[in-house]
């Protein structure tokens, strides 16, 4: 009887052991990849001479740490948990020096780091984002922002650029300028000057020359054609007409395959091209340079 009891119970015991073993297995959580992303409208903080506090917004997929590399500024909190709406606050002391100063904010999460530059202006300072801008020959509107802690005036070295009347020349405001079309075949430059009692800042504006449209025609017989390489100091390609009623915007060494082999006239429209180079003349019977 004992042997029968043992033999009938063995499968049941094995099933219990297997059930317990399976129930003890737990699904391991998938590791989260660290990633830090600045808020869409977040820019590098700029502080006036007397200092202050500004918020910096970002998102992080994991826990993070924050630090700055200069003693005249601090960041709080120094660490936090991951999330979509993370925030640290940068506090900057007053700047009593005649020099602009900078610090770096570093947000780290695991092996990932992101940085922002903190700028504090000196006394009587006018800070421009760029010292030079280039505009098209057609002219238009030039917009940029300056940071300053003083009232200032705006003047120009040429009469083809002027301040847009819709903007105010006051502290930390976006400025807008009107640039007239360049009707000459030569590039030109002008200087915008921002002046206060004790400081002057300048911005150089370069305008491209007016360029006539150039047309290069190539007669080709075959099935597939690659356009030549065009170049020039002010080169701008515009359009390629492949000769089979299909067109596309210009791009270097563009290639087109025709539905059937035949003779086609390829037309390339551009501006400012000075040279062109063809790697392969097979199938080319004529090159029309009359409009080039």
Q: DSSP letters along 219-283, please?
A: EEEEEEEEPPEEE-TT-EEEEEE-SSS-EEE--TT-EEEEEEEEEEEEEEEEES--EEE-S--TT
CATH 2.60.40.10 fits 126-207, yes or no: yes
- pLDDT at residue 173, as a whole number: 59
- pLDDT at residue 26, as a whole number: 61
Tell me which residues of the chain have a pLDDT lower than 50: 1-7, 10, 16, 18-20, 168-171
Domain boundaries, the chain: 36-120, 126-207, 213-291
User: How many C-beta neighbours within 10 Å does residue 216 have?
Assistant: 21
CA-CA-CA-CA torsion sign (179, 180, 185, 189): negative
* 126-207 shares the fold of 36-120: yes
- pLDDT at residue 108, as a whole number: 96
CATH H-level, domain 36-120: superfamily:
Immunoglobulins (2.60.40.10)
- pLDDT at residue 281, as a whole number: 87
Q: Which residue has the tokens 């998102």?
A: 59
- pLDDT at residue 24, as a whole number: 52
Strand partners, 248: 240
Tens digit of each residue's pLDDT (9 = 90 or more) over 35-93: 999 998 898 899 988 899 999 999 999 999 999 999 999 999 999 999 999 999 999 99
- pLDDT at residue 146, as a whole number: 84
Q: Against a cut of 0.75, is the pTM above it?
A: no
- pLDDT at residue 233, as a whole number: 77
């Amino acid at each position: 009887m004992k042997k029968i009891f043992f033999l009938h119970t063995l499968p049941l015991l094995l099933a219990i052991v297997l059930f317990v073993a399976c129930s003890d297995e737990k699904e391991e959580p998938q590791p989260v990849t660290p990633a830090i992303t600045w808020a869409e409208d977040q820019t590098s903080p700029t502080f006036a001479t007397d200092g202050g506090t500004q918020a910096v917004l970002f998102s992080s997929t994991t826990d993070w740490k924050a630090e700055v590399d200069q003693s005249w500024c601090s960041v709080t909190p120094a660490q936090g948990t991951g999330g979509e709406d993370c925030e640290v606050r940068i506090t900057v002391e007053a700047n009593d020096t005649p020099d602009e100063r900078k610090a770096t904010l570093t947000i780290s999460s695991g092996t990932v780091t992101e940085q922002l530059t903190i700028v504090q202006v000196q006394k009587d300072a006018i800070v421009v984002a760029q010292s030079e801008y280039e505009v098209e020959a057609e002219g238009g509107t030039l917009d940029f922002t300056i940071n300053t802690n003083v009232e200032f005036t705006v003047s120009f070295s040429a009469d083809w650029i002027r301040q847009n009347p819709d903007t105010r020349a006051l502290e930390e405001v976006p400025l807008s300028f009107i640039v007239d079309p360049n009707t000459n075949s030569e590039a030109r430059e002008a200087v915008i000057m921002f002046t206060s009692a004790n400081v002057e800042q300048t911005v150089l504006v370069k305008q491209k020359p007016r360029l006539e449209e150039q047309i290069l025609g190539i007669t080709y017989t075959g099935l597939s054609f690659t356009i030549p390489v065009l170049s020039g100091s002010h080169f701008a390609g515009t359009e390629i007409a492949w000769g089979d009623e299909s067109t596309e915007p210009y791009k270097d060494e563009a290639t087109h395959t025709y539905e059937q082999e035949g003779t086609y006239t390829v037309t390339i429209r551009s501006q400012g091209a000075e040279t062109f180079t063809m790697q392969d003349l097979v199938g080319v019977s004529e090159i029309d340079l009359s409009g080039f």
